[in-house]
Structure 1
Amino acid sequence: MESLGHLIRNLRKEHKLTQQALAQQYGMSRATISGIENNSLPEIGLRKVEAILNGFGYELSAVPRARQRPTLDSLKQAHFHD
């Protein structure tokens, strides 16, 4: 979520919007926008983030994480060298 906050801050600044202006546009408080940008809110609704991103022409999506490298134990269990 942290990188989303940075993205939203950068997009807001590129569009020369204040936190207050962005908040008014989406029916949120300035404190909510600040919390999103600073990753300081304990919970934030995905719909709020999605609405902001859509307004800037971005899409919120989920992608699988890159697989982690296997450990020696997992390779042994899979009989990798047999």
Structure 2
Amino acid sequence: MSFDEIGQTIRNARKSRKLTQRSLGAQLGMSRATISGIENGTVGEIGIRKMLTLCAALGIELVAQKKTRRPTLQQLMQEQSDA
């Protein structure tokens, strides 16, 4: 999962709870700019504890998994022709 996808998941969870970036940030002791940066994938660096706290507040979890190998162009073309 990319930083952009993580940010989108966080944004969707926040909006589903009808929270603004400012209100969520205040609840967690983070700035609105930090929440925005996480959601947009532009935050320079964020600690794992902050990320876990953010996820817990939104009812989502951060999961680590074994990295999979990206498919080759041939595999992608084959999948498309099979569809």
Is TM more than 0.5 here?
Answer: yes
Match of 1:4 among 3, 6, 22: 6
Match of 2:64 among 43, 62, 65: 62
Distance verdict in 2 for CA 1:67–1:12, change over 3 Å: same
Higher relative contact order (CA 8 A, sep 6+): 2
Using structure 2 for the length normalisation, give the TM-score.
Answer: 0.75
Distance across 2 between alignment mates of 1:53 and 1:34: 14
* Structure richer in helix, relative to its length: 2
Using structure 1 for the length normalisation, give the TM-score.
Answer: 0.76
How well do the aligned residues superpose, as a CA RMSD in angstroms? 1.6
Q: Which stretches in structure 2 are left out of the alignment for 5+ residues? A: 73-83
Deviations 1:12-58 (A, max 9, x none): 11110000000001000000000000011111112111111111222
Percentage of identical aligned residues? 49
Q: Which amino acid aligns with 1:31?
A: A
Distance across 1 between alignment mates of 2:69 and 2:34: 34
Matched pairs, number: 70
Match of 1:21 among 23, 29, 34: 23
Q: Which stretches in structure 1 are left out of the alignment for 5+ residues? A: 71-82
